[in-house]
């Protein structure tokens, strides 16, 4: 009996102990899920600091930071258990050497989340608009001033301010290079998933500005299928470029991944030379689906800074030579050469002639160069042979100065020896011929020559508007090969002088009906300060200047119209007979923004909304037109700034 009583006592104690233990194991009732921060926003100085906040979370919690914010904000701990009691979270903010900035840390319990906002002082407020435009609305007219060009392709540029970067798609040579500061107007729209600026006007404000790039995000086999960005971002990758199955495109493949690849958007260099070899690229991601599009800024260690400089001349020191040394050097060795300072003597749609006054050589870009006649430049490129003439290919050109006077040598008259003429250098020549048409082509027939006709090598289209079929003309320029297949003697033209008007001619040296046209800004000469552009056309000179306005005139790369902004002026002068009528044919943009136009002499016809032309009458050898402040006669209305945008001019 005593034993049984003792066992009963032990069992009772055990039962009580179990019950007590069961009560201890029961979880605390924390109520509904909730999370709070105290405080929810902090502000720190530029030197950085470590501070604490209090977090109360009734469920297990975690933290999340964006990759960008994680570069300067960190928290400890990064997760925790549920509790009704507040816990302290340490927030560390690194030193800020840039602009004022804001970041955030998200604290989440799954059901709910709260955000800690972190503001840090820096060198000042971020000034810029690109960040807002990049995440803003489509189909909006935008104007951005004094922003830096940080990427360039054959048809676009990337512009950057402290708030972000965006692609400006010109659909043609953008006329700017990396390091330029530009003013841009255009319309927003999405392409490949990212916002860009289309149908732009791009005006260069200054050149040679320093460019620094952010740390790139690496795209590799581990993340190429998941990579995404909602804005233009700087990336780097190593990949092997291969041609597409139809042979039209070159795609870059990372590792063994084939479901996603990368492409270099309108790359200004030679992709063929990169094929099937691992290539390292840095550049701007500008959107894409299966094919990520990248504006390359550096390929295999070589910076891509311009259409001229986006070449594939090896990034090695070149052999420094004078032009006369280049003319006599071995052209079969593919030697990389570097020039001394030389002048641009002539321009084509594919390159330019470099001259030192006595010797000359053609620098071939395979695209319209950004240099102008009168620019002093240096170049590095590959010395090659082109149909018996020395030529520089894959060049990188650096402009030293602009607006320099070009003195041409005495031209060698080859009129009487046209059929037998040849030369092993770009000799400066002249000949007299009759303008003849051959289908869509214009040639020049020299009297007595039965074997060859003359032709202009890749001449700007505006040249052809200065004469008409049947005219007797004098052609002057640099000899640029004999085409023995088509029997053509090619010249890079510097001047076409109309000696006699033919039956197909117009009323004046401006050509048929005196119509003046141009193909783009490359036909115009831009002043060194970028505030004036001018075009010589037969006996006429058209000069557009910023004057007292705020925006320099330009030629739109898409619409090809000359655009003169509020308070700007246009002067038309002639060395021929006095002008009696000038008709400006307005572009579609010109009809939207037409301002009151006044003249310093003669009369401008009364203007009204819906005008498609502006007409002047009088008798003068020089007329200056001034653009009014507001678009009083434009369809956009007088709330918009005035412009004078015209696509051609007819002069009588």
Separation CA 114–CA 389 (nearest Å): 72
Could you tell me the CATH number of the domain that includes residue 465? 2.40.50.140
Measured CA to CA in angstroms, residue 430 lies from 192, 415, 417, 640 at distances of 51, 7, 11, 50
Report, as an integer, the average pLDDT of 92-106: 87
What is the phi/psi pair of residue 164, to 5°?
155, -170
Q: Which DSSP string do the residues of 109-161 spell out, in sequence order?
A: -SS-EEEEEEEE--SS----SHHHHHTS-SS-EEEEEEEEEEEE-SSEEEEEE
Separation CA 493–CA 159 (nearest Å): 35
pLDDT, tens only, 81-91: 999 899 999 99
With cut-offs at 50, 70 and 90, classify the pLDDT of residue 522.
confident
* Range(s) of the domain holding residue 479: 412-505
**Is position 18 within any domain?**
no
- 20 pLDDT exceeds 60? no
The answer on 191 and 67 residing in a single domain is no
Tokens representing residue 302 in the block: 């070589």
**Is position 67 within any domain?**
yes
The answer on 211 and 167 residing in a single domain is yes
Place of tokens 């005219």: 471
8-17, 222-231, 410-419, 611-620: the lowest-pLDDT one: 8-17
Tokens representing residue 342 in the block: 């030389």
Q: How many domains does the chain have?
A: 5
The answer on 431 and 494 residing in a single domain is yes
Nearest to 396 by CA among 326, 336, 321, 345: 336
**Is position 13 within any domain?**
no
pLDDT of res. 12: 53
Residue at which a domain ends, from 380, 401, 422: 401
**Is position 28 within any domain?**
no
Does the pTM exceed 0.75?
A: no
With cut-offs at 50, 70 and 90, classify the pLDDT of residue 514.
low
**Is position 620 within any domain?**
yes
Could you tell me the CATH number of the domain that includes residue 577? 2.60.120
**Is position 465 within any domain?**
yes
Tokens representing residue 540 in the block: 């006429």
The answer on 280 and 361 residing in a single domain is no
pLDDT of res. 248: 73
pLDDT, tens only, 408-445: 999 999 999 999 999 999 999 999 999 998 766 789 99
Could you tell me the CATH number of the domain that includes residue 252? 2.40.50.200
Residue at which a domain ends, from 370, 401, 432: 401
* Partner residues linked to 151 by β-bridges: 158
Report, as an integer, the average pLDDT of 346-353: 91
**Is position 5 within any domain?**
no
Residue at which a domain ends, from 279, 312, 345: 312
Could you tell me the CATH number of the domain that includes residue 100? 2.60.40.10
With cut-offs at 50, 70 and 90, classify the pLDDT of residue 125.
low
The answer on 540 and 496 residing in a single domain is no
**Is position 301 within any domain?**
yes
- 336 pLDDT exceeds 90? no
Share of the chain above pLDDT 70, in %: 91
């Amino acid at each position: 009996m005593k034993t049984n009583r003792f066992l009963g006592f032990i069992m009772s104690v055990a039962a009580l102990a179990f019950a007590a233990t069961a009560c201890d194991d029961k979880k605390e009732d924390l109520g509904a899920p909730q999370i709070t921060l105290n405080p929810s926003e902090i502000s720190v100085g530029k030197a950085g600091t470590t501070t604490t906040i209090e977090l109360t979370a009734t469920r297990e919690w975690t933290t999340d930071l964006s990759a960008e914010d994680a570069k300067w904000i960190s928290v400890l701990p990064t997760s925790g258990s549920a509790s009704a009691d507040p816990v302290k979270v340490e927030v560390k903010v690194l030193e800020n050497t840039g602009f004022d900035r804001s970041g955030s840390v998200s604290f989440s319990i799954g059901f709910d989340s709260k955000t800690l906002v972190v503001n840090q002082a820096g060198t000042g407020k971020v000034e810029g608009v690109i960040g807002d435009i990049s995440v803003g609305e489509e189909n909006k007219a935008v104007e951005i001033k004094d922003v830096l060009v940080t990427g360039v392709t054959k048809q676009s540029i990337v512009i950057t301010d402290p708030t972000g970067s965006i692609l400006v798609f010109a659909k043609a040579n953008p006329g700017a290079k990396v390091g330029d500061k530009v003013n841009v107007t255009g319309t927003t729209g999405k392409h490949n998933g990212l916002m860009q600026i289309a149908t732009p006007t791009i005006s260069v404000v200054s050149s040679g500005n320093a460019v620094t790039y952010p740390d790139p995000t690496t795209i590799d086999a581990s993340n190429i299928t998941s990579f995404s960005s909602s804005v233009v971002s700087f990336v780097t990758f190593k990949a092997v470029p291969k041609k597409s199955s139809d042979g039209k495109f070159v795609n870059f493949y990372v590792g063994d991944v084939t479901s996603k690849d990368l492409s270099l958007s309108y790359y200004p260099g030679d992709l063929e030379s990169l094929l099937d070899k691992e290539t390292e690229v840095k550049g701007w991601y500008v959107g894409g689906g299966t094919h990520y599009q990248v504006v390359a800024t550096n390929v295999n260690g070589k910076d891509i800074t311009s259409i001229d400089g986006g070449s594939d001349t090896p990034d090695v020191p070149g052999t420094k030579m004078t032009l006369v040394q280049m003319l006599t050097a071995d052209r079969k060795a593919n030697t990389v050469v570097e020039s001394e300072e030389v002048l641009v003597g002539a321009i084509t749609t594919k390159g330019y002639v470099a001259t030192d006054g006595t010797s000359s050589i053609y620098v071939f870009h395979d695209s319209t160069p950004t240099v102008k006649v009168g620019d002093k430049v240096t170049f590095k490129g590959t010395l090659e042979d082109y149909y018996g003439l020395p030529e520089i290919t894959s060049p990188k050109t650096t402009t030293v100065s602009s607006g320099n006077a070009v003195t041409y040598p005495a031209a060698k008259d080859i009129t009487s020896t046209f059929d037998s003429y040849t030369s092993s250098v770009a000799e400066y020549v002249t000949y007299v011929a009759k303008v003849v048409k051959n289908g869509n082509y214009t040639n020049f027939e020299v009297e007595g020559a039965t074997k060859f006709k003359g032709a202009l090598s890749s001449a700007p289209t505006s040249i052809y508007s200065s004469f008409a079929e049947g005219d007797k003309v004098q052609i002057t320029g640099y000899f640029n090969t004999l085409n023995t297949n088509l029997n053509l003697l090619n010249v890079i033209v510097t001047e076409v002088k109309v000696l006699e008007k033919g039956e197909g001619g117009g009323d004046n040296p401006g050509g048929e009906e005196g119509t003046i046209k141009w193909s783009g800004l490359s036909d115009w000469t831009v002043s060194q300060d970028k505030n004036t552009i001018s075009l010589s056309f037969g006996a006429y000179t058209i000069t557009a200047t910023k004057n007292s306005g705020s925006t320099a005139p330009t030629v739109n790369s898409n619409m090809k119209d000359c655009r003169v902004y509020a308070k700007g002026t246009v002067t038309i002068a002639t060395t021929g007979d006095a002008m009696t009528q000038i008709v400006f044919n307005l572009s579609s943009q010109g009809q939207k923004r037409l301002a009151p136009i006044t003249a310093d002499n003669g009369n401008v016809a009364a203007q009204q909304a819906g005008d498609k032309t502006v007409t002047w009458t009088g008798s003068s050898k020089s007329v200056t037109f001034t653009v009014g402040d507001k678009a009083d006669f434009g369809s956009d209305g007088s709330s918009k700034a005035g412009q004078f945008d015209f696509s051609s001019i007819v002069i009588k």
